[in-house]
Structure 1
């Protein structure tokens, strides 16, 4: 049964990958320049360049670490905010102001700032959490160590802030809101299987893992 579920998910992932590629085709086609991205990151550093900084609207949580994510994931995320597939008022406003070249440059800048690769085998989860991860088939997309996704347009989630991971997972279950929600049929199907307390358990475990992700302190007044 688990093997059948994994096969079905991989088929859905393949279809979704084509969809993501179509949405972000223009930005993905631009060649990013990390030096140019550093000069364009002023709008980002007020949140993503401060260690421990918290988002206060529409929900309170630590802003995600993006240094060390792949360039293709950063572009995919910005594209989703720009199109409204990810609902977050301030991120949509910022992404909406970016050209394809801007996205590629910012992605190149942040993707070069990660830490050391993490072990292939993550620390063992409790039996309860392991069952939740298996039910969600999380490794099918995000990799066995949750830091080597099968497609670079998917995020590395090992070691990401647990409160952010919980809010992100919960967002896939929200419908009809103008300020909260994420449109992704695969993630929605996964997240809607779980109660909020179970999503918190998953997020807490993933957040405890070794990570390549970082918040690189930046001066607000550089």
Structure 2
């Protein structure tokens, strides 16, 4: 099993995040990212803001997220590996430098970082624990779901549960022109889960303490 996971992770890095290869020499500038974030704050800097596509859910918290993951996610929206009309329209307008700067800016937020325990204080039910083990979530996202084993993997602890559910379903969606996420690791991991199982995992992971935050900008405070 470990051999299969290692092979999948290698495929993930080589295939899933291929767009980063062209940006490897870009030096990120968080201060520059702050000046480019106007297109982001209308959704990601408003507490409780909800999107309606592909269903109603809170937009993800990205302040405090790993920069490598954010940069890769933007690249995936630009190439179409992640399908989302709004994010596609934004991503195609961004250069590799823009993506790197924005990712660095959001990783630096908030100024005060929470101190998390190595494991969540709130343990899952035996049923949910079995689902998390089946999905091998800890192997990539860490025991507290906020210490990924690779910086290109996202922190998911405390993320909005309804967003996590939508994201997980996206990895199950194939051959759809407007919805879905192409990622060799996640596509395989979620393939054998029912929607109810995905929702239960999302609800638990979203309930634990995490490092992700919504940081309002001055115009929205």
TM-score above 0.5: yes
How many aligned positions are there? 218
The answer to whether residue 127 in structure 2 is matched with residue 125 in structure 1 is no
Q: How does 1:31-180 map to 2 (within 5 A)?
A: 31-114=27-110, 115-122=113-120, 123-180=122-179
The Cα shift of 1:174 comes to: 0.7
Change (3 A) 1:189 1:21: closer
Q: Structure 2: which 5+ residue stretches go unaligned?
A: none
Deviation for aligned residue 1:218 = 1.3
CA contact (8 A) 2:57 2:162 kept: yes
CA shift at 1:124, angstroms?
1.3
CA distance in 2, matches of 1:214, 1:116: 10
Query: Does the 8 Å contact 2:45/2:220 carry over to 1?
Result: no
Q: Please, what TM-score do these two structures have when normalized by structure 1?
A: 0.93
Normalising by structure 2, report the TM-score.
0.93
Residues 13 and 141, structure 1, Cα contact 8 Å, conserved in 2: no
1:9 corresponds to 2:12: no
Once residues 78 and 71 of structure 2 are traced to their aligned partners in structure 1, the CA distance between those partners, rounded to angstroms, is: 10
Give the distance between the partners of 2:31 and 2:186, measured in 1 at CA: 34
Contact 1:52 1:62 in 2 (8 A): yes
1:91 match: secondary structure = helix
Secondary structure of 1:51's aligned partner? coil
- List, as ranges, runs of 4+ consecutive aligned residues in structure 1 with deviation greater than 6 Å: none
Q: CA deviation at 1:20?
A: 4.2
Task: Report the Cα distance in structure 2 between the residues aligned to 1:117 and 1:81, rounded to whole angstroms.
Answer: 31
For the Cα contact (< 8 Å) 2:20–2:72, is it kept in 1? yes
Deviations 1:92-126 (A, max 9, x none): 11000000110111011100004324211113111
1:193-204 mapped onto 2 (5 Å cutoff): 193-204=192-203
Distance 1:6 1:63 in 2: 33
